[in-house]
């Protein structure tokens, strides 16, 4: 059912959707993303994550961009989303788009284009993103529960969560490669460094020298995890490459959900395959991003085009 839904939605999205409606649309988004990423390479990861967190809750409808109101706590204020960044990049692209073509380009399409453009700027393959998504007007913080994969997830849990969105295990492994850019808060993996209880100690699946380095970067304070951040890929944190997978093979996956990919025979084979053939990773990732970008989209007469991405219209 989920697969049928994803395929049907995809058929309604079109590459070059704005070619006649707003010819400058994709160029405007690309320029704003380029400005942001050249000033701060880490913003590339932020924009990719924004698109992912949008699509996994209510589909790719820009609901993650809506601000909370007096009567409603929106998705962006839910615990897994408080570290999201890149909202201001979407705002600047959107305000230019409204000047160029008022009420034409959806916030959901801006997010999809921005993720693609951000990746290209840090070494990802360029790929075509179909447009035609429309914006939703509902954003509820609680709906992030059970939809966004936690950093502690194992392969079975990841398969279930991605599968619920119509994505295969192979696509899940490819999309996990987004963790080759960006940073993680110490609190997302501190349980691997300082666990208590019957299995107290450090995570045995983690390379001890990596544990030692991380405990220096994320020291425990009064039994509380440190407030800092560390790169997801310690070798090339701002380059979209396969070092994320090489780290997993070396037992240096940062999150439990990263290292878990080595514990399953099928996902482990794919991880090793990508380290040996970076081109296959780039191709698979681009295809999986396009498919992810079609999850539960609103098209045609469904949804709306918000003129301000933060406010329901």
What is d(CA 274, CA 265) in angstroms, rounded to the nearest whole number?
15
What is d(CA 216, CA 122) in angstroms, rounded to the nearest whole number?
28
pLDDT of 268 strictly over 80: yes
What is the reported pTM?
Answer: 0.93
pLDDT of residue 7: 43
What architecture is the 155-289 domain classified under in CATH?
A: Orthogonal Bundle (1.10)
What is d(CA 193, CA 221) in angstroms, rounded to the nearest whole number?
13
User: Which CATH number is associated with domain 24-147?
Assistant: 1.10.520.10
Q: What is the pLDDT of residues 60-95, one digit of tens each?
A: 999 999 999 999 999 999 999 999 999 999 999 999
What is d(CA 125, CA 177) in angstroms, rounded to the nearest whole number?
13
Q: What is the pLDDT of residues 157-209, one digit of tens each?
A: 999 999 999 999 999 999 999 999 999 999 899 888 887 655 556 788 899 99
4: Cα separation from own chain's centroid: 23
pLDDT of residue 191: 86
Annotated active-site residue in 22, 33, 36, 53: 53
Give which of 153, 159, 123 is closest to 253, Cα–Cα: 153
Angle between helices 25-39 and 107-121 (to 10 degrees): 50
pLDDT of 3 strictly over 70: no
**Binding site annotation covers 59?**
yes
**Binding site annotation covers 57?**
yes
**Binding site annotation covers 67?**
no
**Binding site annotation covers 149?**
yes
Give the chain's mean pLDDT: 93
Q: How confident is the model at residue 227 (pLDDT cuts 50, 70, 90)?
A: confident
**Binding site annotation covers 63?**
yes
**Binding site annotation covers 151?**
no
**Binding site annotation covers 241?**
yes
Q: What is the pLDDT of residues 93-144, one digit of tens each?
A: 999 999 999 999 999 999 999 999 999 999 999 999 999 999 999 999 999 9
Q: What are phi and psi of 25, to 5 degrees?
A: -50, -55
Residue range 254-274: mean pLDDT, rounded: 97
51 counts as catalytic: no
Q: What are phi and psi of 121, to 5 degrees?
A: -75, -20
Give which of 63, 59, 64, 58 is closest to 46, Cα–Cα: 64
**Binding site annotation covers 179?**
yes
pLDDT of 6 strictly over 90: no
Q: What is the pLDDT of residues 201-223, one digit of tens each?
A: 678 889 999 999 999 999 887 66
Domain ranges, ordered by start, for the chain:
24-147, 155-289
């Amino acid at each position: 059912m989920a697969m049928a839904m994803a395929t049907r939605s995809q058929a309604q999205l079109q590459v070059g959707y704005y070619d006649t409606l707003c010819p400058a649309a994709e160029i405007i988004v690309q320029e704003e993303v380029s400005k942001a990423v050249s000033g701060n390479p880490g913003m590339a990861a932020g924009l990719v994550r924004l698109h992912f967190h949008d699509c996994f809750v209510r589909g790719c409808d820009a609901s993650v961009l809506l601000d909370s109101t007096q009567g409603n706590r929106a998705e962006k204020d839910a615990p897994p989303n408080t570290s999201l960044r890149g909202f201001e990049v979407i705002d600047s692209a959107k305000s230019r788009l409204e000047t160029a073509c008022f009420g034409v380009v959806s916030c959901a399409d801006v997010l999809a284009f921005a993720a693609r453009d951000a990746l290209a700027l840090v070494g990802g393959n360029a790929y075509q993103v179909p447009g035609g998504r429309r914006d939703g007007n509902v954003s509820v913080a609680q709906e992030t529960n059970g939809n966004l994969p936690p950093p502690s997830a194992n392969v079975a849990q990841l398969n279930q969560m991605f599968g619920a969105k119509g994505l295969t295990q192979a696509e899940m492994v490819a999309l996990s490669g987004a963790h080759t850019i960006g940073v993680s808060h110490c609190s997302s993996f501190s349980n691997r460094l300082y666990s208590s209880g019957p299995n107290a100690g450090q995570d045995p699946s983690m390379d001890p020298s990596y544990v030692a380095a991380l405990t220096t970067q994320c020291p425990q304070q009064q039994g509380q995890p440190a407030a800092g951040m560390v790169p997801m890929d310690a070798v090339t944190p701002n380059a979209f490459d396969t070092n994320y997978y090489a780290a997993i093979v070396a037992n240096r996956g940062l999150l439990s959900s990263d290292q878990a990919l080595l514990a399953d025979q099928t996902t482990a084979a794919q991880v090793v395959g990508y380290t040996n053939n970076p081109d296959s990773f780039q191709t698979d990732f681009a295809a999986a991003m396009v498919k992810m970008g079609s999850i539960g989209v609103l098209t045609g007469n469904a949804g709306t085009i918000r003129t301000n991405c933060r406010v329901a219209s």
